[in-house]
Amino acid sequence: MRNEILFSERQKFRQWWLWAIFLSIDGLFLFGVCLQVIGGQPFGDKPMSNTGLLATAALMLLLTFLFSRCRLDTTIKKDGIYVRFFPFHLKWRHYGWNTLNKAYIREYSPLAEYGGWGIRLGLFGKGRAFNVSGNTGLQLEFTNGRKLLLGTNKPGELAEALRNIQQLVQ
């Protein structure tokens, strides 16, 4: 097995407060649809049209569904690192070991360094980040000077996989 999988991780957004926000907004718009479109009573002081309310409720439900499908997949093989942030990356992104200067596990502050979670652009030379939760990640520093941080909830397993193929910088 020349290019077997040495490490694999799939992460999804599981923060309770995030889902509480999404579901509250969805519930509010569904309540508005029931009240105004079905019940005939205006929803709010300055109600939007029934078409506008239905379209907004449908858009919010669609966004919640798309958000529920978001996931960060990270795979380590002998020829490099494969990453996909679905549905934004339909194809895997491959980063070969020959394109990296350093690869190491580090703790980071998602809000302070990258402005949150998701596909993020860090300030002050931090580079990009793909993360969905937590504050630990695999920092990649490329030969061209760019940086990419991949969030992980399995730092120990990831470090072990990188040590096994001698790619982890301590």
pLDDT number for residue 81? 94
Nearest to 76 by CA among 147, 168, 169, 145: 168
pLDDT number for residue 169? 54
Q: pLDDT tens string for the chain (170 positions)?
A: 467 888 999 999 888 888 899 999 999 999 999 999 999 898 888 889 999 999 999 999 999 998 889 999 999 998 899 999 998 889 999 999 999 998 999 999 988 888 888 888 877 778 899 999 889 999 999 999 999 999 999 999 999 988 888 765 54
- Domain residue limits, the chain: 11-69, 71-164
How many whole angstroms separate alpha carbon 128 and alpha carbon 146? 8
- Beta carbons of 75 and 82 less than 8 angstroms apart: yes
Q: What is the pTM of this model?
A: 0.80
Nearest to 23 by CA among 54, 55, 67, 53: 67
- Beta carbons of 113 and 126 less than 8 angstroms apart: yes
pLDDT number for residue 1? 47
- Beta carbons of 82 and 144 less than 8 angstroms apart: no
Is the peptide bond prior to 155 cis by the omega test (within 30 degrees of 0)? no
